[in-house]
Structure 1
Amino acid sequence: MVLGIGLGLVLSPSGLALLSEPTAYTIAQWVAVPGQVFLPVIQMIVIPLVLTSIILGITSSGDASFLKKAGLRIVPYFVVTTTLAVAIGISVATVMRPGDYISANMVQSMVGDSPASVIAGPAVQPDVSIPERIVNIIPGNPTQSLVDQDMLAVVIYAIFFGVALLTLKHQQSSIILDLTRSVQAVSLTIVNWAMLLAPLAVFGLLCDITIRVGIDAILGMSVYVISVLLGLMVLLGLYFLIVLLVAKQSPGHFLRAIREPQLLAFSTSSSAAVMPLSMQTAHESLGVRKSIAQFIVPLGATINMDGTALYQVVAAVFLTQVFGIDLSLNELLLLTATTIGASIGTPSTPGVGIVILATILQGIGVPVHGIALILGVDRILDMCRTTVNVTGDLAACAVMDRWIGSELGSDEAAAPLPQVD
């Protein structure tokens, strides 16, 4: 990480500028190759890994009541923490008002010359009623969900499949469970191959983004960046408080235990890439039961995007300040609800948050092309919010293990937990 950032600052046209801009950008493309290979390999195996991990997490408890106990606790927990994250984001953005520090000239220079693809933004989605949204959650065509990489649909399908397996006799389910374990083992083998590239991927991705972004873009948006980082730090403090009061673990111990998943999340900007390591860390370092780790981590990587929700709401309020749009209380409540809904099911891959943000902006009257204003620093903030997302998943594991672990007893005989070399 240090070498990548250091080399990036040396080569960046806005840094020491030892090379010409075209040469520096060419080098940035080449050093990013290991990271560009690492991420697709991980993404390639995410869906089978999520499917098998959730199915085995449910069935390893051997009791259908596990899903009821876990579901009735974890879903409200995720909704509450996401709501708190959004509230923190709105509070920070309202108090610090980062949009007031952006000059009209800067807006014109960055937005006025933005690419047409950015200005256009994603296609406007037709209005869908709440009952229709509820019905659409159920994956009517699982195959299409796999093709579209609709992670929320994949998670729900895996839950249905896992619960159905629990209702079958051992003779009927054993073959499917053996096959599921084999698919998980194959997936983790590919993950282990990808992990061999992790150090080079970390170096290359950080060097690439530092060369491209440089110091100027960061300084020009410094108050906005500080606002997002401050909100994420407050959210981290909330996690530590929850771990201390609910999970009865020392924040220092918790932070030391999850250090490696946090660093990998920071460098890759993908909670999906960190998922196998998160499950292993939850069990081996935090002492979370296998069935809980296998169920909560894949589920959290799909619907527990607190850091992303906080970033999106800070960015939305920031852009309203830049364009002089005053939000009423009702509009703030609508923004809160929209952000919470948009964060659930957001793909756990780099750069997706900026696309989801465009949808949120359309609902509050902010020009979508305003996104061009924050694109320069988005990758850096993406790295930070992904780290917070992974921290939230591991905190949820510790909390759920405390809440329902004693009711499950020991599960040492359950399906082996994924191991990452």
Structure 2
Amino acid sequence: MRKIALHWQIIIGMVAGLLIGALFLLFPWGKDFVVDWIKPFGTIFINSLKLIAIPLIIASLVKGVSDLNDIRQLSKMGSRTIGMYIVTTIIAISLGLLLVNVVKPGRFIEENTRLEMMESFAGEADSRIASANETKERGPLDALVDIIPDNIVAAASSNGNMLQIIFFVVFFGIGIILIEPSKSKPVKDFFDGLNEVILKMIDIIMLFAPFGVFALLATLMVEAPSSDVFIALGAYALTVVVGLAFLLFAFYPTVVKIFTGLSYKTFLDGIAPAQLLAFSTSSSAATLPVTMERVEEHLGVEKDVVAFVCPVGATINMDGTSLYQGIAAVFIAQVFGNDLTLSDQLVIVLTATLASIGTAAVPGAGILMLVIVLESVGVNPAGIALIFAVDRPLDMIRTAVNVTSDATVALLVGKSLGKIKDPNVKNWDDHYKPQD
């Protein structure tokens, strides 16, 4: 009997979770039961992925950097990676601004709905604004200072310190390159072995992925806001979804097809489990181990490229978040009656691009950065209260976009460096079957 492919297993788990969640809503005790007895399994699944995120980055990035012949190769890879991430981010924000100006979803929100939602979410909005103000009060070079940790052990204790960890690991890898091969070999062998162990741990965790996403989607169903809120914000949510769907199913596959020759089916089949996991967890960091495994094993990008491009992307590349920030900022401005000029929207492009670099790869972090984007164009940041009700499902979709963008850039960088398998080999599709 042929084994069901991983992405289909995850889809079955997602659908089952939604159905079970809807079923339990029919009972007065249903929500409490799901929260108490089903939700913890989703949390355990996410925690297990986060558990190996930092060890994976350390092992794979040390291996990837140390396998390079000289510093010039690292410089070439780094410049291309950062450049491509910035380009895709600008394209995503511009697409979002185009859509929101055409649809104008803000005109569908009635005054009484706006006031009711502002009052309901006032406390949460205030806490996000306070957090954003703390960020704004930092010095212009504080972000640069934060990249260099004063204690790598302390930095490695939190997934929120990805940039610090990446800096240390790249620095460590450079040190390995610069010493004699005979002395570096034991260190490289250790990290090679560690990397293989971590990849096997990912395989084990992914056996439980369908059950994890089942628990996450069942919980989302019982904790979702009431339907009238979704109707009031339908135009806004639809605008975001259309933009994200265009990136997912048109822009990225087309770019990959043009520059690497991979077919739409090959690309989407290869990255599908990572997309579905990103959708379920709303966290690029939690999905990173699976993203790296899919890009290397199923899309043919060599390990040293994957080890560098994907962790950096999970930290600074947030195309889905950037598109959403552009749409949300203009939407809130429309609701408040603020007419944003072309120069205002160019400021949104710049601010959202910079904000995406500082957005942590964790659920809901984009909301905090949206406050900074709003204030950059003089819009009352309290307006973020308007979008809280539908932010969770949209966060799930934009995380899937972020992960797909990381995979796309990894393919482009790999192709530009000659580090990608030939997509035209006859047994390419057979390459997937053992892993699925």
Higher mean alpha-carbon deviation, 151-160 vs 93-102, is at 151-160
1-side partners of 2:280 and 2:435: how far apart?
17
Alignment equivalent of 1:173, drawn from 162, 165, 184: 184
**Unpaired runs of 5+ in structure 2?**
1-13, 423-433
CA 1:360 to 1:30, structure 2 compared with 1: closer, same or farther past 3 Å? farther
Indicate yes or no: 2:110 matched with 1:103: yes
Aligned CA distance change for structure 1 residues 53 and 11 (closer, same or farther; 3 Å): same
Which 10-residue stretch deviates more, 287-296 or 399-408? 399-408
| CA shift for structure 1 position 181 | 3.4
Equivalent residue in structure 2 for 1:19, among 21, 27, 31: 27
Structure 1 residue 3: deviation in Å? 1.1
Does the CA contact (< 8 Å) of 2:302 and 2:420 recur in 1? Answer: no
> Are 1:280 and 1:420, in contact at CA under 8 Å, matched by a contact in 2?
no
Change (3 A) 1:98 1:29: farther
Q: Which residue number in structure 2 is paired with residue 230 of structure 1?
A: 242
Check the 8 A contact 2:92/2:322 in 1, yes or no. yes
Shift of the alpha carbon at 1:7?
2.3
- Within the candidate set 396, 399, 403, 2:416 is matched to 403
Deviation at 1:130, TM superposition (A): 4.5
- Change in CA separation of 1:23 and 1:117 when aligned onto 2, cut-off 3 Å: same
Determine the structure 2 residue equivalent to 1:15: none
Taking the aligned partners of 1:3 and 1:167, their CA distance within structure 2 comes to: 53
Q: Does 1:60 align with 2:67?
A: yes
Shift of 1:177: 2.4
Query: In 1, Cα distance between the equivalents of 2:257 and 2:47?
Result: 37
Indicate conservation of the 8 Å contact 1:92/1:227, yes or no. yes
Distance 2:39 2:172 in 1: 39
Structure 1 residue 76: Cα displacement: 0.6
Equivalent position of 1:414 in the other structure = none
Of the three residues 354, 362, 380, the one matched with 1:349 is 362
Call closer, same or farther: CA 1:120–1:277 in 2, change over 3 Å. Answer: closer
Cα displacement (A) at 1:217: 3.1
Secondary structure of residue in 2 paired with 1:405: coil
Equivalent residue letter for 1:317:
V
Offset of residue 306 of structure 1:
0.7
Counterparts of 2:360 and 2:142, CA distance in 1? 21
Q: TM-score by structure 1 length?
A: 0.88
**For residues 363 and 30 of structure 1, do their structure 2 counterparts lie closer, same or farther at Cα, with a shift above 3 Å needed?**
farther
Counterpart of 2:155 in structure 1 is 145
Paired residues of 1:265 and 1:274 also in contact (CA < 8 A): yes
SS at match of 1:150: helix
Displacement of 1:91: 1.1
Percentage identity across paired residues of the two chains: 35
The change in CA–CA distance for 1:315 and 1:117 in structure 2 (over 3 A counts) is same
Residue pairs, 1:161-310, within 5 angstroms? 161-188=172-199, 190-213=201-224, 215-236=227-248, 237-310=250-323
Q: Secondary structure at the match of 2:156?
A: helix
Partner of 2:427: none
TM-score normalized by the length of structure 2: 0.85
Aligned residue identity for 2:374: L
Going from structure 1 to structure 2, the CA distance change for 1:39 and 1:169 (only over 3 Å counts) comes to: same
Per-residue deviation, residues 343-399 of structure 1 (Å, max 9, x unmatched): 114222222222222333333333333222212211111111111111111111221
Equivalent pair of 2:34/2:222 in contact (CA under 8 Å): no
> What SS does the aligned partner of 1:223 have?
helix
* Counterpart residue type for residue 156 of structure 2: L
- Tell me the CA shift for residue 255 of structure 1: 1.3
The separation in 2 between residues aligned to 1:355 and 1:116, in whole angstroms, is 14
| Corresponding letter in the other structure for 1:230 | V
Count of residue pairs brought into register by the alignment: 406
Cα separation, partners in 2 of 1:406 and 1:52, compared to 1, 3 Å: closer
Structure 1: 5+ residue stretches without partners: 13-17, 410-418
Tell me what 1:413 maps to: none
Within 2, Cα distance between the matches of 1:130 and 1:318?
Answer: 29
Kindly provide the CA deviation profile for residues 300-325 of structure 1, in whole angstroms up to 9, marking residues without a partner as x.
Answer: 11111111111122112111111222
Give the match for residue 4 of structure 1: 17
Q: Secondary structure of 2:120's match?
A: coil
Question: What is the CA deviation profile of residues 20-42 of structure 1, one whole-angstrom value per residue up to 9, with x for unaligned ones?
Answer: 2x642442443211111121232
Q: Which amino acid aligns with 1:174?
A: K
Q: Which amino acid aligns with 1:211?
A: V
Counterpart selection for 1:36 from 32, 36, 43: 43
Distance 1:345 1:173 in 2: 34
* Structure 1 range deviating more: 367-376 or 139-148: 139-148
Name the structure 1 match of 2:76: 69
| CA distance 1:177–1:233, shift in 2 (3 Å) | same
Query: Structure 1 residues 192, 374: CA separation in 2 closer, same or farther (over 3 Å shift)?
Result: same
- Aligned 1:106-121 pairs, distance under 5 A: 106-114=113-121, 116-121=123-128
CA separation of 1:212 and 1:132: change in aligned 2, threshold 3 A: closer
Which residues of 2 match residues 311-326 of structure 1 at below 5 A? 311-326=324-339
What's the RMSD between the two structures over aligned residues? 2.6
Q: Distance in 2 between matches of 1:420 and 1:173?
A: 32
Preserved contact between residue 93 and residue 227 of structure 1 (Cα < 8 Å): yes
Q: Residues of 2 paired with 1:102 and 1:351: CA distance?
A: 23
Counterpart residue number, 1:78 = 85
Distance 2:370 2:194 in 1: 35
